[in-house]
């Protein structure tokens, strides 16, 4: 090893280190961290309570501000006044239990309540727009490009959904199970 264990190598150990490594948006005050960004957002390696942790940017910001780990079952998320998903400004983040985070998402309209989600279920499919009866009618029709476009517009689905329904790849009637007839029943001797 080229350096003694515990040597500070210029990593993120404070909120100021995090700010210095971010682009600051003058309009919103967001700190946009762009050094180690993946599909899940900014991923940082931070030192909290003497332990090196790898976590997402917002969680890192909350832990750097409090100098404590997030409590078990808590998640870090942005506040209402923060317009950027990649912001790591600790003043734009907070932590709360997962249930409270869900209530927050519902209150700002990002997530539906369980009641509204179940109201959209149709034949066991979430937010289905075509019923089994409509699917049967579509499969009986002789489709043209114009008719596909008209049906898609009428039912609020894509033209692909209409074509796949017609081909039987969506909303197909359940296939009968082989040997399921009551006439195939044999008594055990």
What are the tens digits of pLDDT across the range 131-184? 888 888 888 888 888 898 888 888 888 888 888 888 887 766 655 555 555 555
Measured CA to CA, the distance from residue 73 to residue 98 in angstroms comes to 6
Q: What is the pLDDT of residue 91?
A: 93
Q: What is the pLDDT of residue 57?
A: 84
Q: Establish how many alpha carbons lie within 13 A of residue 92's alpha carbon, considering only the half-sphere containing its beta carbon.
A: 21
- Whether residue 84 has pLDDT greater than 50: yes
- pLDDT band (50, 70, 90) for residue 101: confident
Among residues 113, 137, 152, the one where a domain terminates is: 113
Q: Is 50 helix (H, G, I), strand (E, B) or coil?
A: coil
**Is 175 a member of any domain?**
no
**Is 10 a member of any domain?**
no
Give the domain range for residue 128.
124-167
Average pLDDT over residues 55-66: 87
**Is 186 a member of any domain?**
no
- pLDDT band (50, 70, 90) for residue 39: low
Q: What is the pLDDT of residue 180?
A: 56
25 with 106, same domain: the answer is yes
Q: What is the pLDDT of residue 182?
A: 57
**Is 38 a member of any domain?**
yes
101 with 160, same domain: the answer is no
Q: What is the pLDDT of residue 83?
A: 81
Task: Give pTM, 2 decimals.
Answer: 0.53
Q: What's the structural domain count of the chain? A: 2
Residue 89 belongs to domain with CATH number: 3.90.75
97 with 34, same domain: the answer is yes
- Whether residue 117 has pLDDT greater than 70: no
Among residues 72, 93, 113, the one where a domain terminates is: 113
Across all residues in the chain, what is the average pLDDT? 77
23 with 108, same domain: the answer is yes
Average pLDDT over residues 72-92: 86
Cα dist. 61→16, 30, 36, 92, 132 in Å?
A: 10, 12, 14, 9, 50
The DSSP element (H or E) to which 74 belongs, if any, is strand 74-78
78 with 43, same domain: the answer is yes
């Amino acid at each position: 090893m080229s350096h003694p264990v515990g040597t500070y190598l210029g990593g993120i150990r404070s909120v100021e280190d995090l700010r210095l490594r971010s682009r600051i948006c003058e309009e919103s005050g967001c700190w946009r961290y762009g050094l180690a960004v993946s599909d899940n957002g900014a991923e940082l390696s931070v030192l909290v309570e003497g332990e090196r942790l790898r976590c997402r940017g917002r969680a890192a910001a909350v832990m750097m501000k409090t100098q404590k780990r997030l409590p078990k079952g808590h998640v870090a998320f942005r506040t209402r006044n923060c317009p950027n998903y990649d912001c790591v400004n600790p003043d734009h983040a907070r932590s709360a239990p997962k249930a409270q985070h869900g209530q927050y998402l519902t209150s700002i309209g990002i997530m539906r309540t369980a009641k509204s989600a179940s109201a959209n279920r149709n034949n066991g499919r979430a937010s289905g727009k075509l019923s089994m009866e409509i699917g049967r009618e579509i499969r009986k029709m002789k489709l043209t490009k114009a008719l596909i476009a008209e049906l898609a517009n009428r039912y609020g689905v894509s033209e692909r959904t209409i074509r796949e329904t017609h081909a039987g790849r969506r909303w197909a009637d359940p296939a009968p199970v082989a040997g399921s007839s009551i006439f195939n029943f044999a008594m055990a001797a």
